[in-house]
Amino acid sequence: MNRTDTDARTRTRTRTRTEDRPVVLVDEHAHAWSPETARARFREGLTGPTAGVAAGHTQVNLISVPADWAYDMLLFCQRNPKPCPVLDVTDAGSWTTVLADGADLRTDLPRYRVWRDGELVDEPTDVRAYWRDDLVSFLIGCSFTFEWALSEAGVPIRHVEQGRNVPMYVTSRQCRPAGRLHGPLVVSMRPVPPPHLAAAIRESGLLPAVHGSPVHCGDPSGLGIEDLGRPDFGDPVDTEPDDIPVFWACGVTPQAAVMASRPPFALTHAPGQMFLTDARDEQYRVA
């Protein structure tokens, strides 16, 4: 990892340790909400990790960049499809998406991040005050979507069980650069008991539009991760002694690219606090 990416990783860790503390959604029935109900609650100011919310409906990452950076972002996603599987791209200035009828991308996520020159400057629950007419938004598949398949296959989802945000790590692997954008791969980690490893790989692999199969299993040092107890985003999770750490490409990767490449402006979701779409998870299953 070069100095720029090391500095970005350090800035990320120091600025997310407080904001990404475990937050359990206040309604114990959140898994049964419709996407419309979830978006309305977030619009009213409810925040927290969205794993398990509106179960069965697809969740997505969000990044909005100025139009003169949009081609670079599209090319970055095309060249790095594992961490950046694009499900929709908006017209410049539009805050709507075909993935959620009547939704507003400026208000309907639990929490956002505002970036200027690669620096995190705010984490509001509403970005209407920051919105620009030249912003192009990319909606990128999220691994929360395949968790229903893992759960149905009997794979325990530790962060959901423990009411925590999924742990995410900046790795030593570099993404393929595109124009002005470059940066390291970010991964999410789920501890998997050995008897369930094959099912976790198989079931996630059937959903390539939401990151698909893992990029690494086992020793985290193979990804340059020094301490699983200190994720760069999200929260550490408690593991069982025989659990195998399994790593999936993560849609926070564009945020790492923002920190490394320093575009003048960007809006993103807060890690783990996703946009709930009307799409059903099964739509993205390939078999």
**Per-residue pLDDT tens over the stretch 184-240:** 999 999 999 999 999 999 999 999 999 999 999 999 999 999 999 999 999 999 999
| pLDDT tens digits for range 49-71 | 998 899 889 999 999 999 999 99
Place of tokens 């509403």: 126
The yes-or-no verdict on residue 21 having pLDDT over 50 is no
pLDDT value at position 148?
A: 86
Alpha-helical regions (H) of 80-171: 147-152, 158-161
- C-alpha to C-alpha distance for 52 and 27, rounded to whole angstroms: 12
Domain locations along the chain? 3-20+30-284
Which CATH topology does 3-20+30-284 take?
Answer: PSTPO5379-like fold (3.30.2040)
The yes-or-no verdict on residue 14 having pLDDT over 50 is no
Which region among 18-32, 170-184, 191-205 has the lowest average model confidence (pLDDT)? 18-32
CB 209 within 8 A of CB 249: no
| pLDDT tens digits for range 75-110 | 999 999 999 999 999 999 999 999 999 999 999 999
Helix (H, G, I), strand (E, B) or coil at 238: coil
pTM comes to 0.89
